[in-house]
Chains A and B, each alone.
Chain A
C-alpha cells in the first residue's frame, strides 16, 4: 500500500478526533455536557487498553499462552473488589482539588515538595518508554502495511509528523483551561470514542480470522493442537506459573489505579462518583470483549505463518495482508492507531500537569526573575509551561522510541512501566488507611522501591542492549553473588517481572512501614493524614477541618487569586465562599478557612506544593504543635458527630412527618368513604320514604279513591315500610361488621342442610314468580366450622338477588355445591339480566353508588352483597361473580375447611 495514502488516513483519523473533541467542548460550553454520562466515563477507562493490548496481547499469547490475561484480570478485580478504595481516592481528590498522583502523594504527606518531584520523576520513567512503545506500534504497523523500512532520517519518518499532530491535539484539548481540576471534556469524549473504535476494529479482525479464515473457535483450536508449539499455551506451568499469575495480576491491579493516564481518567476526569458504579461492570465487560479473540488470532497466526519469521506482535496486521485483504488491514491499523493515540494523549496530559506543577513551577517560583514573570501574567506562564511539557514529553517518547526501543518487544516495556508505577501502592494505600504513615517513610519507600526496580529490570535491559557488561548478570553487583539483578538474594524460580515486583514491593513496603514508625509527623502532615484517612467524615466540612494559623492580608490573598482566576471570577468565588461559611472578608487579616480555601483553589491550578509556596509567600504562618492539631481535629470531629446526630434526628423527624401525613391522608380517605356511605344510605332511605309520604298524603287528601286503588296504595306503603326497616337493619348490620363488633360463634355445620333450608324459605316466592330452583349438591361434603345464621344470610341474599333479576315464568336458578382443594364451593347461577363487567367488582362494595354518583347500580342489591362479603371474610372465605349481560350471573363463594 502507498505510504501517502496510509499517511492521509492517519491524518483524517486525527482530524475526526479533533471534530469529536471540538463538538464535545462546544456542547459542554452550552451546558449540555456529554461527559456527564456514566457510559462515557466507563469507556474512557478503557484507555487502559493501549497498542500493547491491540498488538502485544496477540504477540504475548503466541509466546506465553494464556499469561497475557493476568494484565486484564487485575483491573477487573480492582473494579469488583477495590472500588471502595477508588471511591475514597476520588473523594479525596475532589475535596482537596488534587489533579495528579504526584499531587495526591505530596498532599497526603504534608504537601511535601520533594515527594511531588519524586513521584513526577517516577511517572516520567514509566511514561516516556510507554509512549515510545505506542509510537513504535504506530511506526511498525505503518511499516508493515506499506511494506517499507522505517527511515532513520526523522524528516522523512511519517511517525514524526504524527507526533507533531498529536502534540497539537494534546495542547489544544489538554490546556484549554489552566485550572487542571476543570475537566477536559473534549479529550475524554475523544478517548471514549477511541475505545469504541479499537474494540470494533479488534472484533473485525477477530471475526475475520475465526469465522472467515477458519471455521470458528473449535477449528482453530483443533488445528493448533496438532502443532507442538501451541500446545503449551494452555498449560499453567508448575508453581512458578501460579506465582507468575499472582504477581502479574497484582501488578496490573496497581497499574490500573496508579498509571498516570488511569489516574487521570478514573479520578481527575470523574464527573460524578456514582459513575464508578456503572464502570464497575461495564469496564470488566470491555476487558472480556477485547480479549475474546486474542487466543484465536495468535493460534491462527502460528498456523498460518508456521516456520516463517513473522513478528507475532503484528499478527493482526500480517494475517489480513497475507490474504490480501487490505481494507481489513486498514481497519486494524486504525484500531491500533486509536489505541496508541488515546494512550499518548491522556498520558501526556496527566504527566504534563505533574511536570509543570511539580517540577517547573517550583523552580520558576524559586528564581526571583522568573517569579516576577509569573506574577505578571500567571495563567499565560502556566499555560506555556503545560504546553512546553506536553511537547517535551511526546518528543522524549519519540526519541526514546527512535534510539532505544528498537530492541524490545511491546510487552516487556509495558511490564517494566507497571512495576515502577506499582511503587506508589504503599504510600497511597498507607496514606488513605493508616494515619501514622509519615512523609519520611513514604520517601524512603518510594526511593528504595525505585532503586530496586532500576537494579532488577533496567540494568538487565542495559546489559542486553550492550551499554553495560554482562558481568553483573552472572557475578552480581560488586561480584557479590547475592546481588544478581535476576536472582536477588539468591531468589530463583520466578520470571523477571514477578521477581522484580516481589522485591521492589518488599523493600518499598518495609521502608515505608518502619520509616513511618521511626519518624514523626509535622502538624500539617498529621492534619492531612487525618483528612485523607477519614475523608468520608470530613468531606462535607472540609473547610473547617484544615488547621492553619497565621496572618495574611485579605487583599494579598485576593490579588494572588485574581492573578490566576481573573478579577471577576475571583470576586464571585470569594463571595460564594464567604456567604457559605459566614466569613467576614472586610477585615484586614484573612480568616484561616479563607486562606486554606484559596490555597486549595491554587493547588488545582499549579499543584499542591507550588500553591503552598505561593500562599506562604504572602502569609505569615505560625507553627502549630502536633498536640494542638490533634486537639482541634478531635473537636471538629466531635462537632461532626453532633452534626451527624442532628442530621439523623432531623431525618427521623422527616420520616415521622411523612408517616403522620400518610396517616392523615388515610383518615381523610376514610372520612370521605364515610361521607359517601352516609349520602348513599340517605338516598336509599329517602326513596321508600318518598313513596310512603306521597301515598299517605294522597290517601289523606282524597276520600273518594276507589277501594281497590286505596288497597293498592296501602299495600305499597306497607311494602315500602318493610324495605325501609330492612335497609336500616342492613346498615346497622354492616356497621357492626365494620367496627369489628361481630364475633362469629362457630359450630359444626352441614352445608347441604343450610342450602336446603334457605331454598325452603324462598320457595314460595319463586313459585309465585314461576321460577324453578334446581339443586346439584354433592352429598359427601364434609362438615365445616361456621355460624349457621350468617351462612344462611349469605345464601338467602344470593337467592333473593337471583330471584329479583330473573324473568318471571321463564327464568331458572341453579345451585351447585361441592368440595375441592380443601374448600367448600357454592355457586348460585341465574339466567337473568346479568351484570356489566365494570360493575362486577363494585357490587360487593358498600360505597358502590358513591363511585358513580348519578348512574344507579342494579336495583335492589342494596347492602346485601357487602354484608355477605364481610361474613365470608370472617369465615376466611371469598365471594365473587362471573356474569355476562343478558345471559345471567354466577355468584360463587368458598369457605376453606380448616
Chain B
C-alpha cells in the first residue's frame, strides 16, 4: 500500500454501486476520498476541498459532467486539477468531446480496476512531482 500520497480525490457519480467500488479502490491506494452524487454536490466540494484529481461521470441528473469539467478547468485556483472522465458513453465522438472540454483522461465504462488504479497512480505521481 502506498503512503506517499496525501492527495485528495473527488469521485462524482450518481450510481451508488459504482461509487462503492471506486471509493474502495481509491481509499485502498491511500488517497483522501470525497464523494459527490451529482454535479451540484461536486461544485461545493471542489470549491471547499480543492481536490487534485476528480473522477467524473458524464450523465448525471441536474448538472452533467461536461459542465463540472468546464467549471474546474475554467477556475483560476482549480485549473490544475486533473479530470478523469469515467463514462458509459464510449463512442469516439463522446471521447473526443470529453477531451475537448478539457479532460486529462477518458476511461470508458466498464473499466478494468487494475488499469484504472495504475493510471490514477501515475497521474498522482505527476501531481506530486
Q: Which A residues fall within an 8 A CB radius of B?
A: 679, 682-683, 686-695, 697-698, 701-702, 712-713, 716, 719-720, 849, 853-859
Contact = CB atoms under 8 A, between A and B. Distances in A.
A687 B59 CA distance: 11
B88 A854 contact: no
Given A854-B65, A855-B64, A856-B61, A686 B20 contact: no
26 contacts: A679-B89, A683-B88, A686-B110, A687-B18, A687-B88, A689-B110, A690-B15, A690-B18, A690-B109, A691-B21, A693-B111, A694-B18, A694-B22, A694-B111, A694-B113, A695-B17, A695-B21, A697-B114, A698-B25, A698-B113, A702-B28, A713-B21, A720-B17, A849-B59, A855-B60, A859-B61
A693 B17 CA distance: 11
B61 A687 contact: no
Nearest to B58: A854
B48 interface: no
B66 interface: yes
A690 B113 contact: no
A404 to B, nearest CB: 93
Contacts of B112: 693, 697
A686 B13 CA distance: 14
B62 A691 contact: no
Contacts of A679: 89, 91
B110 A690 contact: yes
Contacts of A698: 21, 24-25, 113
A859 B14 contact: yes
Interface residues of B, number: 29
Chain A CB count within 10 A is highest, among B17, B24, B111, B112, for B17
Contacts of B89: 679, 683
B109 A701 contact: no
Interface in B81-129: 88-91, 109-114
B116 to A, nearest CB: 8
B113 A697 contact: yes
Contacts of B15: 687, 690-691
Contacts of B90: 686
Nearest to A855: B64
Contacts of A854: 58-60, 64-66
Contacts of A687: 15, 18, 88, 109
Given A683-B89, A713-B20, A694 B59 contact: no
A691 B88 contact: no
A694 B110 contact: yes
Nearest to B24: A698
A719 B63 CA distance: 27
Interface in B7-46: 14-15, 17-18, 20-22, 24-25, 28
Given A694-B25, A701-B113, A855-B62, 4 more contacts: A691-B17, A856-B59, A856-B61, A859-B14
A847 to B, nearest CB: 15
A695 B18 CA distance: 9
Interface in B43-74: 58-66
A712 B18 CA distance: 13
A853 B93 CA distance: 13
B20 A716 contact: yes
A431 B63 CA distance: 80
A697 to B, nearest CB: 4
Contact of A690 (B59, B64, B88, B91): B88
A857 B63 CA distance: 12
A701 B25 CA distance: 11
A853 B94 CA distance: 11
A682 B88 contact: yes
A859 B65 CA distance: 16
A854 B93 CA distance: 14
A855 B18 CA distance: 18
A682 B113 CA distance: 20
Contacts of A692: 110
Contacts of A695: 17, 20-21
A328 to B, nearest CB: 75
B111 A690 contact: yes
Nearest to A716: B17
Chain B CB count within 10 A is highest, among A695, A697, A854, A856, for A854
A858 B60 CA distance: 9
Contacts of B66: 854
Contacts of B62: 855
A856 B14 contact: yes
